[in-house]
Homo-oligomer: A and B are copies of this chain.
Amino acid sequence: MAKAKKQPRPKAITPKGFRDYFGEEVTQRTHMLAAIAEVYHHYGFDALESSAVETVEALGKFLPDVDRPNAGVFAWQEADENDPEGKPGDWMALRYDLTAPLARVYAQHRNELPNPYRRYAMGPVWRNEKPGPGRYRQFYQCDADTVGTASMAADAEICMMLSDTLERVGIPRGDYLVRVNNRKVLNGVLEAMGLAEDDPKRDDVLRTIDKFDKVGETGVRELLGKGRLDASGAYIDGVGLEPQQAEPVLAFLTSKGDTVAETMTNLRAAVGDSKVGQEGITELEQMGALFAAAGYGDDRILIDPSIVRGLGYYTGPVFEAELTFEIFDEKGRKRQFGSVAGGGRYDGLVKRFTGQEVPAVGLSIGVDRLLAALREKGRLSATPTGPVVVTVMDRDRMADYQSMVAELRAEGIRAEVYLGNPKNFGNQLKYADKRHSPVAVIEGGDEKERGVIQIKDLILGAKLAESATLEEWKERPSQFEVPRTELVAKVRDILASQAKDQEG
């Protein structure tokens, strides 16, 4: 430590774009991850925890999120131990998602792993990109993937599992919707437009489709054609298609009918005789049949050709879970909570390593967004549950106080003894307050002699202090003298009555 004194003091700051999580933030996430893991495990998925570090070579450059194409990784060059001059060795990096490591693990262990391989993984991933409000450079992902099967039953299973998972963590039916689309249908639309696979206009069309939500049917028609005058007055150049060539896109975007069957008919018309397009529609129909047979109605899972997010990354079915209830944003405006999970079928990730095409389908849940949603809906307690604090009136009788907390803990009650300087009793109560303690226990020399203790209901005490007009509270005392032997019973009583007050 001597050295540190001579150096300037380091700054105590969280690195830019990172954050620390305290108390309930951590435990609520832990409990949510445990609940999700339970559902995944029940569905036959096995846990996999790969290392946070991969070679840059193995990771590749396949960031799944098309919104952030320039997202980078945190990387460094290893020292080569075998080189006496310490020349740098391989480049290593922190994983940016859980899918790239899965592809590496699957390629590496494919002969030992069951095939198909259902696996789930949860943990932090890192993105070396400019942080923004609510966007961090380390965040949790929570994935389930089935590798090695092209069966639509795998895709359907994952959608149903997503629905079950959302309900399991506390999003009731009706407050979410899993929307399903298929990339092949879109490819069919592009084919029906006569755009070849390498036609650069394909990207322009995809970008335009992405704007459908904002600019509507007319807007898309203009953007695919000559262009469009923006609301801001700016003129946006169009893709330059003839009106007729743009027709399949419009037919696709407006294909949603009153029934799944009607939607499918509209889609079949939109893709014309494109083989891949018809295949995509057949896949959607297969999934739809499995959902229907398993009783997952369109209040839970909906075939919806309008979802386009992720279509650039996935190669077959694509799905997204949206929370459909409204919240107020920071400016007080109502808006839908939006997406909390997504996934789809992807190819080529394993092929990168082995040369063999391995079909796979996966799901990723945004745990932090899901937690935010539950907090928003008041389904997670905002107030931490602090421990019962046993205060210290007599420094020499620490053993007495410690046996009190031991008794409480033995009965399943979170409890601690005050460990700061006990001189100022007010500080002890301030500490209990900061800890969000429900109850404080006091035993001074006088109480000790009389074989009693004082028990303070701190929640009720705070309420009484807040309001002098609440007659119903006033009749209830917030401090009780009970025999020492009744410590556990009385604390339990108070906790129960607090829980009842909170419910009421």
CA gap between A20 and B42 in the complex, in Å: 22
Q: Does A402 sit within 8 A of B, measured CB to CB?
A: yes
Enumerate chain B residues within 8 angstroms of A42, measured Cβ to Cβ: 409, 412, 414-415
Which of the listed residues A24, A34, A47, A50 has the most CB atoms from chain B within 10 Å of its own CB? A47
Across the interface, do A399 and B290 meet the contact criterion of CB distance under 8 Å? yes
Assuming A12-B105, A52-B94, A81-B130, what are 15 further A-B pairs, CB within 8 angstroms?
A1-B348, A9-B352, A15-B51, A15-B58, A18-B51, A19-B51, A20-B51, A20-B105, A26-B48, A27-B37, A30-B47, A42-B415, A53-B138, A149-B420, A153-B419
Kindly state whether residue A204 has any CB partner on chain B within 8 Å: no
Supposing A153-B417, A348-B1 touch, asked if A138 and B51 sit within 8 A by C-beta, the answer is: yes
Bound Cα distance A90, B92 (Å): 19
CB A50 to nearest CB in B, in angstroms, measures 5
Tell which of A63-71, A112-120, A222-230, A252-260 binds the partner: A112-120
A15 CB contacts on chain B under 8 angstroms: 51, 53-55, 58, 90, 92
Chain B CB within 8 A of A298 CB: no
Does B44 lie within 8 Å of A387, measured CB to CB? yes
Asked if residues B58 and A74 are in contact (CB atoms below 8 Å), the reply is: no
Q: How far is the CA of A417 from the CA of B146 in the complex (A)?
A: 12
What's the nearest-Cβ distance from chain B to residue A260, in Å? 15
Q: Which 7 A-B pairs have the closest CB atoms?
A: A44-B416, A293-B399, A12-B107, A26-B47, A18-B51, A76-B76, A44-B387
In Å, the complex CA distance between A90 and B47 comes to: 36
Verify if A157 is at the interface (C-beta below 8 Å from B).
yes
Q: Which residues of chain B have C-beta atoms less than 8 A from A459's C-beta?
A: none
Task: Say yes or no: A402 contacts B153, CB within 8 Å.
Answer: yes
The B-contacting residues of A in range 91-120, CB under 8 angstroms, are 92, 94, 104-105, 107-109, 114-116, 118
A14 interface hit (Cβ, 8 Å): yes
Residues of B within 8 A of A133 (CB): none
Shortest C-beta distance, A421 to chain B (Å), equals: 8
Question: Is B114 in contact with A398, judged by CB distance below 8 angstroms?
Answer: no
Number of copies: 2
In-complex Cβ contact of A398 among B74, B118, B290, B354 (8 A): B290
* CB of A309 closer than 8 Å to a CB of B: no
The CA of A56 and the CA of B406, in the complex, are separated in Å by 41
Q: SS class of chain A's interface: helix, strand, loop or mixed?
A: mixed
Interface size classification for chain A: 35 or more
User: B53 touching A41 by the CB < 8 A rule?
Assistant: no
Centre residue among A109, A153, A354 by max chain B CB count within 10 A: A153
**What CA separation (Å) do A353 and B409 show in the bound complex?**
35
- Contact between chains at A10 and B60 (CB < 8 Å): yes
CA distance A399 to B26 in the complex (A): 39
In the assembled complex, how far is the CB of residue A378 from the closest CB belonging to chain B, in whole angstroms? 22
Report Cα–Cα, A19/B53, bound state, in Å.
Answer: 10
A22 interface hit (Cβ, 8 Å) = yes
- Give the residue of B26, B41, B352, B384 whose beta carbon is less than 8 angstroms from that of A4: B352
Closest Cβ of chain B to A79, distance in Å, is 8
State whether B434 touches A114 (Cβ < 8 A): yes
Give a binary string over A235-258; 1 marks a CB under 8 Å from any B CB, 0 the rest.
000000000000000000000000
Are A414 and B104 in touch, CB under 8 angstroms?
A: no
Task: Give the distance to chain B from A43, nearest Cβ to Cβ, in Å.
Answer: 6
Selected from B27, B44, B124, the residue in CB contact (under 8 A) with A47 is B27
